[in-house]
Amino acid sequence: MYTYNLTLIRVKDGDTIEGVIDLGFRLSYKTSIRLAETFAPELKTPDGPRSKERLEQLLVGPLTVRTVLNREFEKYGRVLGYVTANTTVDVNKTLVLEGYATKEPVK
């Protein structure tokens, strides 16, 4: 796994964000990031907007993304990763523990 600094652009839904990953050496990569092991309700369902709102609340302070070692991209081309906010908050795990998402195994 690799860990990169992340600048948030927007939250797309309860388990997907758009951001700029700092690759170092003044290189960056603008992409969608799918939260690994996290499955949030779709936006069109009653719980979807709540999950998205909670994700927005969690993404404060400095952000990092840790990519999945054996699969950095998932089937739709999004980066698959674990996001940390404010150096200590495991965003993926927090969404699951608080009931805004369920745990989905990395495939």
Q: For the chain, give every domain's residue range.
A: 3-103
pLDDT digit string (tens) for 27-75? Answer: 999 999 999 999 999 999 999 999 999 999 999 999 999 998 676 778 8
Identify the pLDDT of residue 68.
84
| Fold designation for 3-103 | OB fold (Dihydrolipoamide Acetyltransferase, E2P) (2.40.50)
Please tell me the pTM assigned to this model: 0.92
What single-letter DSSP state applies at residue 93?
A: H
- Please state, as a whole number, how many other Cβ atoms lie within 10 Å of the Cβ of residue 95: 25
Q: Phi first, then psi: what are they for 88, rounded to 5°?
A: -135, -20
Looking at per-residue confidence, does 26 or 75 come out higher?
Answer: 26
Chain-centre distance of CA 102, in angstroms? 14
